[in-house]
Structures are given as structure tokens and as C-alpha cells.
Structure 1
């Protein structure tokens, strides 16, 4: 699950604040020691090294911990007080939180042994009560940091799993509701429309058989019944087969609009190496479908342009026609598109554009950024530029 950009920014600021506090603590411990027995010059960079690298822990937790531990070991013989050990304790906790358990446990065992041996050597290799007290104090705080990082990691993992389970339950409930609605529509409305269509067709057939001119109203009833049957079938397909409508089938969608007097141009620029999330993929397909339907029925133009692209974390869908934007009245289709985009945290623009009446949707999709991160190197190098494949198809036919 990807952390929202605002949360990441807040996390970076918090890291800087924590690093500043730890830097003040370590420098303060050095100042106290300098006021007493003095501190060698090489100790000051070592005191500042740990807090200085701490803001990098989210990407390099192991390196941050090792730098802090190395700095603590290097100045351990100076006995600068407990404040100088705070950066190492925090680094141990965050490395454990990041999931590097073996390295963190090994580091804690090393520091525990190093602390005991150092205190023992300072006491002339005499196992006194002071040696045990100081050693157990440091070892205890190391284990507190270790346990704190692990408990926080498990808590966050539990919360993420609970959120995932809740989302899956909501999706299953929505799918069950769609199936129930489709079943009710099929059992009631489909039957009634079919009866109307059959009766109108029989009446037209009998009228033509008798050599009479069918009434225009009767012809209109039959045509309306045919249109209603087709639209109802599409609705039932949408409700029952929610996963079948993906951007990979958008060309098939275009083919269905042939014969309506429109030139439909589609340019789809999609990364071949990273998959689009199911929700964003389905929403993009539905937006293209609804926008094409509106263009064919209401635009008054004769050309439609469909463009699908992507950025690092956003799927962009744009459908524009050369009709008159002023004549468009918002209806259920546009409302449904806006609700679909809002549900995913995206943005929808509907109105005049450079080409004509334009529907532009920006749909967030964490799958895009996750795929880029998984394909990047362990270093902080930028993710590889996605390979872009452009597909252009033109569907043109006379009405």
C-alpha cells in the first residue's frame, strides 16, 4: 500500500525534527564532557554523524543504523553519557521497524557484548556491581529499542491487513449487490420489454401481411423496445461482468461504435512493464465508454478523440469530440463518471477544451508507483523510463 504524498511529506519533516533533536542531544553531551575532562576534536564529527544521516532511514535503514552504531563504538571509550547513545537506540528501533530483523538483532547482541567488555575493561577486569549496573542499563535500553521497533512494525502490518480485509469485504458486498440487481432486472424488466417487443413485432407483421401501412406509433414502439433491450443487455453485462471491462479491450469498445457516422481516433500510451490496478483500469474503461456514448448521442459533431496516458501515480483518460460544448446538459452519465472518479480520489474535468467538448479524468493508481519502485535499483537512482507503446486506430463508417 502506497503512502499518500501528504503523509510522506509530513514524515520527512518529522524525520528532520527528530534528527535536529538528536543532534542537539549529542552535541550537548559533548559540551558537558568538554566542560569536564575535555573532548578530542575527532569526537565532534562522530557525534554529529548519526543524527545527520537519520533522515535517510526510510530508504536506507540498515546504513543509518550501521553509521550510528559505528559512531557510538568509536566514541564509547570517551564515556560521554547516555545522551550520546540516543541516535543509536533510535536507529536500532527504525531498522527493526523496517523489517531487517536479523541484522538488527545481531547489532544489538554486538553492542551488548561491546558495552559489557568495555565497562569490564574500564574496571580493570573486575566484575563489580558498577560494571553490571552500567552494562545492564545500556543493554536494557537496546532491547527496549529492539522491541519497540518490532511491536510498531507488527501493529502497522496488522492495521494494513485489517484495512485490506475491510476493502475486500466492501468489494465483495458491492459485487453481490450488483449480481442481485442484475438478477432482479433480468427477471422483471427484461421480461416486460421482451413482451412489448414481441407484441409490437406481431402487430407490424400482421399489418404488413394485410397490405396496410403500419402506424408510426407502432413502429416507434418496436424500435424503442429494441433500443431498450440492447441497453438493458449492456447494463446487465456491466453488472455481472465487472472485471471484463479493461483498457486492454478499449479497441473492441471502439469497434462497437462503428456505423454511427463518427471518426473515432484512439491513442493509448501505456507502460508495457507495469500493470494498471483493477479499480483504476475498470474506471478508465467505463469513463471512455460513457464519454463515447454521450458524444455519439448528444455532441452533434462527427469526430471523437480518445487519449489514455499515465504519469507516475495517475492514469489519465481524455475523450474529446468536435461538437458544440454549449449544447451539453449534465445528465446521469456525467454524474456517474464524476462519482466513479471521486470514489477513487481522482479529479474529473467536463467542459470545453482545445478540441471541443472534453471529458478528462485523472485517476490515482498506487499500482503504477509500486511497479516503478519494485523495478528500481536498491540505490536512490530514478526509476527506469517506462517503455511506451502507442496504438492508433481509426473507425469510420457511414450512418
Structure 2
């Protein structure tokens, strides 16, 4: 994985325990390869450890060349090269390997000089250049074998002995262990980055779904209430002089509808301000059907209701969707149909509830070719509600004229019977 692919912004939320590379992915702290943005700090630490540790090893051991200016220069060359490990990880790995090989060939004392090799290989593998690192490591090991098994007689110190096969095998095992741990680091880091990306995508998906849910709720609440208000306002204006009592009744209906709409809008907006708190009022359901029919009657629409089957308590989500679908269907009739009569059929089945709303039409001039003058948001919202529950909505002209909305909403029988009362959303 490249640096650009790994550079993923945090997905939000707190993580209880984050891997070491997680902190380096944050803005201002590190990059996508799991390395700090201030590599000089690690280089200074490595230089200090290598110089101090190798100096101690040189003073305590024999059979090697004492450290001189060239030796100290080689000890510092590796950490200095690591300053560019983010820009050119493979080149840095090759340079550090060459410096380490020269140090060994010069006959200086063994010590923590290999820490620069470990850091360079880790950096290159984390940057997704593991194949190139394997080639560099193979070249380093091959050169090491040549030096310790053949060229040692031509190199300092004088009287040096040929390395044993155990030493050569140990160096191979040590090098393979470094590469294996670096590869494990890379895999775990890629897994972490992938999980963060998935969490970010899931958070965006939930946010989109929540926005759609709120948009549907606001549309259903406002469309119905404003339609009733619009009709009653027209009635009040027409009868203001001739029949003031009926005009007063229409204004009373407007007041009640607007109050109800404001309450439901506050409930929806309250979920945005305090998403962790439950709404104080229950979600509407089919138990509020008489109230909905009364509002429709106030707008001049008579609705005949028929029921089939044995009614069972519905899960809150299904109950809310059923109420909103009926509400939107009646709103569309009030706004876009010339008919003042409608029929509502509710069919209760074992695992499904069916809702059918019919009107005889014809469509008014403002309805055009769609029953939704707002561009079809009402029908789209009904279909989205039903689809979220695994159901569907069919809407269109019916045989003999008029318009029909047919919705089927499935539900779990066990869950439905376990919820005798309406729950708070």
C-alpha cells in the first residue's frame, strides 16, 4: 500500500486503544506510512544508541579494530540517511545496508549498529516496498557471507578467522526475523487502515440514512398540515363575510393543524440537537388514524375505512411507516385530486399489513402528470419507508379512473406480539 493510499483521515469517534501507527496518521503527527513526521527525533536517538553502545562494545571486547573517526562516521551515516526514509525508503534501505556492510568489513566491534538496518527495513516495508526491501536484504546477506567466509583474510583485523556456519545461519535467521516482523507490522497497519475506512464509510452511510429519515418526517408532517391549512384558509376566505361561523371553524382547524405540525417538527429537530436522548412523545401510529381522518374531513375529504383480518400490535417502525403512508396518500388526494371521497382498506395478515388508499379522481390541473407537485418526494418517501422494512409501495392510476396507493409492510410476528404498547423512538 502506498503512502497516498494509507493516508486516511480519522473517521470520527474515540478509539479505546489505538495501535502505534494510529497516532502517526493524525494531521500534524505523522503520515500514512506509520512513520512520524519528525524523523530527526528517531535519527538522533538511533545515533546516540549506536555510538554509545558500540563504543562500550569496543572497549569491552578484543579481536577487532578500535573505533576511529571513520568508524564513528559510519555509525552516524546510517541515522543521517534515515532522515530521507519517507521520500526514498528503498534508496535509504540500500544506503544503510551498504554503510553497515562497510562497517563490518572494516573490522570494527559489533554493537547496535544494526538498529539503523532494522529502522530502514521497517520504513520501506511499511511504505509498501517490501519486494525491493527483500532484494536489498538478499544483497546485504550475500555480501556478508562473502566477507565472513572468503574476503575476511584480506580485510582487517589481522589474524581474523573464518566465520562458522552457525554464525552465517544465525545472521540469516536474524535478517528473516526482521523482515517477518516488518511484514507483520505492515499487514496489521493495513488492516487497521481498512477498518478505519470501513468505519468512516459506515458513519457516512448512517448519516445519509438519518438525513433521509428526517427529510421524510419533515415532508410528511409539513405536507399534510400545510395542505389542510391551505384548504381551510381558502374556506375561511370564501366564507368570511357570508358565513362567519363556518369561517371561524375553518380558522380553528388551521390553528389545531399548525399546532400539531409545530409539535412534530420540534420532535424531529430535537433528535438533531440531542441525538442521545429519546423523544418525549411517542411516535405516531395507526392508533392516531381517527385523528388523521378528522383532519381530512376538516379539509373536505371524506374517508371510508374498512378492515380485514385480526389486528395485532405492530412494531413501532412498521406502525410509524403505516401511519405516514396513509397520511401522505390522503394529503396527495387533498392537494391533487378533484374527488372529495376516498377509501382506505387495512388488511391484517400474520406477517404483513396491507394498506390500500383509493380515490375516484380526476386529477386537478395543478397535479400535472404526477400526484406530487413537489417533484415526487411524497411517493419517493413512501417507497423508501416501505423498502427499509422489506416491503414495497405501488402507486398509480387505478382501473376505472382515480389513483391508488397500495403498500405492503412485512413484520416479525414474535416482535409484534411482544410490543403491546407503542414504544418511544
| Short-chain TM bin | 0.3 to 0.5
Question: Does 1 or 2 have the higher relative contact order (CA < 8 Å, sep 6+)?
Answer: 1
Whichever structure has more helix as a proportion of its residues is 1
